[in-house]
Structure 1
Amino acid sequence: MKKLSILYFIFPLFCFAQHSDFIHIDQFGYRTNATKVAVISNPEIGFNSDLNYTPNSTLEVRNALTDNIVFSGTIQQWNNGNIHSQSGDIGWWFDFSSVITNGSYYIFDTSTNESSAIFEVNDTVYDNIIKTTSKMFYYNRAGIEKAEPYVLAPYVDAISFTQDTAARDIYDQDNTTTTKDMSGGWFDAGDYNKYVTFTESTVHNLLWAFTENPQIFGDDFNIPESDNGIPDLIDEIKWELDWLLKMINTDGSVHIKMGSRNYNENTSTPPSINTNTRYYGPTCTSAAISTSSVLAHASKVLSQFTSLTTYAQTLEDQAILCWNWALPYLNTDTLQENCDDGAIVAGDADKTIEEQREMAITAAIYLYALTGNNTYDQYLIDNIDDSAVIADGAWNNYNISNIDALLHYTTLNTVNTALKTTIINSAQTAASNNYSEYFQFNTLDLYRGFTNDWIYHWGSNQAKANTGNLNLIFKKYNINTSSTSSYNLKAKEMLHYFHGVNPLDLVYLSNMNSYGAENSIKEIYHTWFYDGSQWDNEDITDYGPAPGFLVGGANGDYTANPNLIPPYNQPLQKSYLDFNTGYPDNSWEFSEPAIYYQSAYIRLLAAVSRMEEDDTLNNDDFTILEKTLKLVPNPSKNTFKIETPNLNYANVNIINLNGQKVLELSNFDTRKLIDVSNLADGLYIVSVEVNGQLTNLKFIKN
């Protein structure tokens, strides 16, 4: 069996044992000052219920290179030992946030010899992960050679889909006069087709990922455009924009998708050996509206780069053209809801009337932000109730593109005051009521990334990622500022879910073991890495799929094969199987990647990787208590007090930078002063526990 020739770290022999199925951590690691909480599980319901684990009350954190103990602490039982319904497990939390020295570590249970995966602690722990997962879009490019050094040797491939330069109308297949150049763009998901309407959330999320955290997206991601003076994420987005421009007709109408006419065409691996003619679909109102939205947003972002000024103007012109073509359909209520008739096989790219009207609100906002033309503002004023976010209070993870645009509108220099107030008040109400627990960290999920049961459907990983993004959007726009720390923690825990803090102990990214994960996805449903191909499974075939593809995730709605357990008839978070077989098992309902899953994840990853609060002294952004704690005074020479509303007694531990407890106070009266006069000068972690919930604050003794 061939293995990828990437070496991550070399560890002593004692670290090569298989890590525990019961100790769940972010297998890549944690930023220095981030919350670090391992989940300890004992399965009760589901396919692994025959396993049993009773952890020691005290666990250790050990240096993976020296095996020295750097921290030991007690575990806290989750929810009084009750079973977590979404996973079928009972469990405990182990907070090791005081481990803040850069290094490689693992968690160890001395009573059972169970150990976690090895993880890193440093502030750049996710930098290589961002580069690798962003490369997914390069692997999914059509019309370009995949060559070293831009891809790993097993994934070298000649130019794919050169026939797209001569695509034809699906309704007039033999007419050579319909030939158009529709080359470029990204494969949408597991097939090789390309869909205009599916780019909307994808490109918007990527543009916001860059805008919110530009420092993480360098010009060194190892793609052909690297070192051209433009951040590589922008270059990657431009690849898709170039294709979108080709899908626009001179009147502003837009073809909705392009691909193959039959399921048995263009289904070979690798991509370059597919030569069947491909076709473009009909023009649809949904395609024009989504394209207008994406191009307007992209024009604004790309215009900041001098070398792209002319290109940005082209994007603006085409965005306006598409809007003007679609506007009569919007005004006369004649939008096309059943435009994609399936003549091009695979996914239905249609959008409902309601979805198109909401996309139009998003497009109008970006056009107004771009041009300042009041006609777009007036459209918003007249049609704001087309947004379910405003009309129905649907501030949730399914409306991220519209939420981004609405809150962005409130920051523009000249806006309608009443509309701005309506938007902000609606967001404030949603955050305050929080009826569906979309906002803020809570303790409802043993695995710490709570989302409601209905989110575990086909593509649940996109919904999970966008839940984290939703919280960071509310933080960015100062919606309920008292919740900032809780928004941050919610986002971080969503990220850890993807990296192994889930009941499957699985990193939901393909082939990432060489990048630090010890248990990552081995198979994805993707035509290139098809079942039985040499790229099928990294353990049983030559290579496995390319690294960094995010799969769809757990799907509690799966019914295709009741004999396949898992994923059938499992607790929601266990409704996943690492496989890629097609019909009738329908693995695409779990293991298919998609550009919109990927973009949501990358936006979340970029935000957490550069979260400023991690570096702010005395910040309690990582608290898991829903209270505000302060240490006063801080710094202090002799004494300090834990200042908090409505809290009298707590367990308090003071821990030095070596992970040693230097002071332990049980059931301490927080109205009293804590004497630290005997401690050496330096930085300490003050860990405060109330009812099994912990918060960690930094304290300076001087």
Structure 2
Amino acid sequence: MNKSKILIFIAALTVLINNMLAVKQTNIYLVREGYVQLDGNLDEYKGLSPILLNERSMVTRGSWDGVNDVSAEVYVLMDHKNLYVAAKVVDNVPAHNLCVNDSIYNGDCIEIYIGEKTSDKPKNFYTSTDYQIGIKIDVNSPQVWSWNNTSEVLGRNEIKNTKVVIKKHSDGKGYNLEASIPLENFLYIIPLENKEFIFDVAIDDADEGKLRKSQLTWNGDGEGWQKPSVWGLATTKRVHESSSFNIYVPIKKNVSLKGELVKIYALSDFKPVSQVEIDVEGKKYTTNQQGYAEVLLKKGGRNKISAKYKDTTTTKEVVVVIKKEVNPIKINQVGYFIDAPKKFLVDKEATEFEIVNVSDGKIVYKGKLIPKGIDRISKDNVWEGDFTEFKTPGKYKIIIKPSGDESYVFKIGNDIYKDVFYKVMRSYFLQRCGIDIDDKITGFKLTACHNRPAVFHPSLKKSGSLEVNGGWHDAGDYGKYIPSAAVTVGQFLLLYEIMPEKFSDKELDIPESGNGVPDILDEVRYELEWMLKMQDKDGVVYHKATTKEFPSLWTPPEKDLDTIYIIGIMSHDVGVFAATMAQAARIYKKFDTAFAEKCLIAAKKAWEWLEKNPFIGFKNPPDINTGEYPVGQDESARVWAAVELYLTTGDEKYNNYFKQNYNKSFAGRGPITNISWDMVHPIGYFSYLFNPKGDPSVKEFIKNQLLQTADSIVRLAELDKNFYQTTLLEFTYTSNKRLLAAAVTLMFADKISPNQKYKNIILEQLNYIFGKNPLTKCYVTGVGSDYPENPHNRLVLSKGVMIPGLLVQGPNSETLGPKGYYDVADSWSTNENAIDFSAPLVLLLANYK
């Protein structure tokens, strides 16, 4: 080869390499408000250049059979309020996705990667301003999910305040997608003209009955899920003029005690506006030439922020939560039993500790702190103190040396959980729906709400309405749902039947106190009366009664006036209804024979419906955005129902059904699992085990299975370096409830086979809930010293009065583990309460009354 040819070859190779290394670029289009219609037709995108996903070089996962297998034209737009994603997709098996939550990428899914472009070096890891957003492609149950573990706003959660429309093509070989995601979900992703973002987009494809078979990524690199450095760039381009004026307040969930310095942007027509006066709680700031004012937000609670530009005034309220300094001494803020182990952890180097009597300030005990090393769940270096041998009742605090840090006050005694039980159980009364409440103890007042008839949703293909007032508000919202209601009252009735001596009349200060019936049964009956209203004449039980959308967080219940709908039929609901009504018939017979008979008739009708119908699942209709409790099987509910009906009636047909099915491995989770709303059969097993009726060989099977499960829980708690001895290693959705449910399993195991290890680990789970955890947080409102002050609960927020005794969900983060909790009102994924969350806590507290 001569020299000139070599030079030509080198030049061509250089061009090829440069092209391969070049960063891809595209546009995000800025449009006026109201331009995007979200109808699935995509007419408004004509004339805009799409992002094309249609080349073999873009295949980053699996196998691809060409553009007719899957390919897409994707558009990304913004107006002053929302980020929009639209796509025209060719797909030989369109809109197929059986997955939920963080696994939706395993089905048909559109993924958007977007982040703030900074002057830093390429990002090899996600920061709090980088986002991976997935849109599940399912016509009936779409979902928008954030996989950003480090985000202070979204985290790894479902994004609830979105709208998604998916429309299959008439030839059955593709679909259109339109979705809107409010910009308030992001930090520093704002609709500013000519702003550059780091950016990528991918499409995941699954065929019928399969998980993801292929993925195409615009930038051609499949590592974007963990490295933003491989993304391309997107520059905002203004399509329309817009007279809209808005301000953007990128505030994190928690801010330090010193406050948070935030850039508040003022934009009009997608351009920064200078010299705009911004009022923050009466203090004035002026935007600079770049259109922002730097503001130190340090007032805890709601901050009113307003700005005026020309004739437009815009006002926003942001909630600022001042992040408390975490107390380094991890103790149970309620206290310790006199003869129980008394251990605490410290995540700050220390050598010794003193216990001080808070009544007189005298030192009553001294001890050494033992270095333990790096804790498995918190990743903190910890020291352990042990004062088990100190047994004098009283109120105390711990001081560690040499730092002098002081713990929260705690109690030593044998009645430490009496007041906590009172608060937690009484919180159900304060969450009642449909009655006036004027509570002199807490100051909580409520006007009777949601007493209008509920209309059958069109998906039921039935006209008319039902009177379904009453019951408990399910959680932080005002909906009412059969699965959570049943698993809650089912556990309470089981508790009463096994330990009736623990309960009495006049112990909860509720309206029915003094009627001769134990207060816990009065409270449970209030929910049972509502459940009875959810059954139709043919025995079927409807899934829920809610409005179409959740009301705003600060809407009082009496102002929540949208239409209430009766929604959904799920065979699981009929099963759990039959079970709880059979329990109620057995337990209330002593107090009210007419009510007991009513419950039994309802239980039998529900069972007759089950005999005629196979498994029926449930997903929200497209126009319903309130909660749902979908399950993939109903065997657990049917077995529970059979047990309770047999124990109440003695009818062998129910016993035969149970004996034919009791040894199944329900959804692969085994005969004995921890109780949850989708796994309810253990309630029936425990009813059977502790009842005089029943086959001894079946009882022996249940006992052995229970002890096997209990021993597996013990092994988990005793894992090396698990110094908090938690029954969880992954702290994700509903972590507090799941931790306590494991403790309930141990409680029942201990009753049939007393074991000191079971007892100690049960107490350690309560220690964790009440403050012996990496955040030193007591997760029950109004209990201990550092409890949730901003629960995601509309009753609390709208009335401005705390309801004591609400257990919140707790940490929910795959990366932050037990530190992934936010005491913020809008953090529904960590700070919401629910009736079924508190149920296992009630069982454990009652056991120690």
Using the size of structure 1 for normalisation, the TM-score is: 0.70
Residue matched to 1:319: 603
Once the 2 structures are TM-superposed, how far is the Cα of residue 120 of structure 1 from its aligned partner?
A: 1.2
CA gap of 1:443–1:32, structure 2 versus 1, over 3 A, is farther
Q: Is 1:486 matched with 2:777?
A: no
Q: Structure 1 residue 152: deviation in Å?
A: 2.1
Q: CA deviation at 1:376?
A: 0.7
- Structure with higher helix content: 1
Whichever residue aligns with residue 350 of structure 2, its letter is P
Contact persistence 2:376–2:722 (CA under 8 A): no
Shift of 1:590: 0.6
> In the alignment, which of 30, 52, 57 is matched to residue 336 of structure 2?
30
1:523 paired with 2:776, answer: no
- Taking the TM superposition and a 5 Å limit, the aligned residue runs for 1:601-680 are 601-607=841-847, 609-610=848-849
Inter-CA distance 445–476: structure 2 relative to 1 (3 Å threshold): farther
Does the aligned pair in 2 maintain the 1:254–1:283 contact within 8 Å? yes
Cα drift, residue 401 of structure 1: 3.5
**What's the CA shift string for 1:534-584, capped at 9, x where partnerless?**
73xxxxxxx5x3222111111124xxxxxxxxxxx42x1111111122xxx
Pick one of 76, 79, 102 that aligns with 2:370.
76
SS at match of 2:795: coil
> Is structure 2 residue 813 aligned with structure 1 residue 556?
yes
* Alpha carbons 1:210, 1:217 under 8 Å: kept: yes
Q: Percent identity?
A: 24
Residues 288 and 326 of structure 1 are in contact (CA less than 8 Å); yes or no, is this contact kept in structure 2? yes
Taking the aligned partners of 2:648 and 2:484, their CA distance within structure 1 comes to: 23
1:212 shift after superposition: 4.2
Contact preservation (8 Å) 1:395, 1:403: yes
Distance 2:526 2:715 in 1: 34
Matched, 1:138 2:429: yes
Does 1:178 find its partner at 2:470?
no
* Conserved? CA contact 1:549–1:593, under 8 Å: yes
Report the CA distance shift for 1:595/1:94 in structure 2 as closer, same or farther (over 3 A): same
Residue 199 of structure 1: aligned partner: 485
1:442 corresponds, among 702, 718, 734, to: 718
CA separation of 1:267 and 1:168: change in aligned 2, threshold 3 A:
farther
Give the deviation of 1:102 after TM superposition: 1.8
1:245 to 1:77, Cα distance in 2 relative to 1, 3 A: same
Contact 2:356–2:398 (8 Å) recurs in 1: yes
d(CA) in 2 for partners of 1:411, 1:378? 19
Change (3 A) 1:578 1:299: same
Matched-pair contact (CA < 8 Å) for 1:19–1:114: no
* 8 Å Cα contact 1:168-1:178 kept in structure 2: yes
2:712 is the counterpart of 1:427? no
The structure with the largest strand share of the pair is 2
Structure with the greater alpha carbon radius of gyration: 2
Paired with 2:673 and 2:560, the residues of 1 have a C-alpha distance of 43
Report the AA paired with residue 31 of structure 1: F
Q: Would you say the 8 A contact 2:714–2:758 is kept in 1?
A: no
For 1:203 and 1:342, how far apart are their aligned partners in 2?
30
2:450 is matched with: 161
Paired residue for 2:732? 457
Counterpart in 2 of 1:378?
656
Query: Is 2:342 the counterpart of 1:63?
Result: no
Q: Any conservation in 2 of the 1:357–1:387 contact (CA below 8 Å)?
A: no
Query: Within the alignment, does 1:283 sit opposite 2:569 as a pair?
Result: yes
SS at match of 1:115: coil
SS of 1:303's equivalent in the other structure is helix
Q: Answer yes or no: is 1:248 the counterpart of 2:535.
A: yes
Amino acid of the structure 2 residue aligned with 1:121? I
Partner of 1:238: 525
- Look up the equivalent residue of 1:299 and give its one-letter code: A
| 1:574 alignment partner in structure 2 | 819
User: CA 1:550–1:141 in structure 2 vs 1: closer, same or farther (change >3 Å)?
Assistant: same
Counterparts in 2 of 1:445 and 1:170: CA distance versus 1, 3 Å: farther
Residue 503 of structure 1 aligns with which residue? 774
Determine the C-alpha separation between the residues in 2 that align with 1:224 and 1:350. 35
Whole-Å separation in 2 of the counterparts to 1:107 and 1:191: 39
Matched residue type, 1:350 = P
2:583 aligned counterpart, secondary structure = helix
Q: Residues 128 and 244 of structure 1: is their aligned pair in 2 closer, same or farther, counting only changes over 3 Å?
A: same
In the alignment, the residues of structure 2 paired with residue 114 and residue 287 of structure 1 have an alpha-carbon distance, to the nearest angstrom, of: 51
Hey, what's the Cα distance between the residues in 2 that align with 1:391 and 1:167?
37
Residue aligning to 2:105: none
Q: For 1:546 and 1:414, how far apart are their aligned partners in 2?
A: 41
Q: How far apart are residue 182 of structure 1 and its match?
A: 0.5
Give, in angstroms, the shift of residue 75 of structure 1: 2.2
Question: Take 1:445 and 1:235, find their aligned partners in 2: how far apart are those partners?
Answer: 45
Whole-angstrom distance in 2 between the partners of 1:208 and 1:189 = 22
Instruction: Name the structure 1 match of 2:86.
Output: none
SS in 2 for 1:243: helix
Residue among 283, 287, 292 paired with 2:578 = 292
Pairwise CA distance, 1:415: 2.9
Q: Distance in 1 between matches of 2:665 and 2:486?
A: 16
Q: Please, which runs of 5 or more residues in structure 2 have no aligned partner?
A: 1-298, 302-323
The offset of 1:279, in angstroms, is: 1.5
Residue 12 of structure 1 is matched in structure 2 by: none
Letter in 1 for 2:402: S
The whole-number CA distance in structure 1 between the counterparts of 2:608 and 2:454 is: 26
Instruction: Quote the offset at 1:373 in angstroms.
Output: 0.7
> What is the TM-score when the length of structure 2 is the normalising length?
0.58
Find the counterpart in structure 2 of residue 598 from structure 1.
Answer: 838
AA aligned opposite 2:341: T
Assess if the C-alpha contact under 8 Å between 2:664 and 2:671 holds in 1. Answer: no
SS of residue matched to 1:200: helix
Shift of 1:488: 0.7
Deviation at 1:588, TM superposition (A): 0.9
Distance 1:217 1:427, change over 3 A: closer
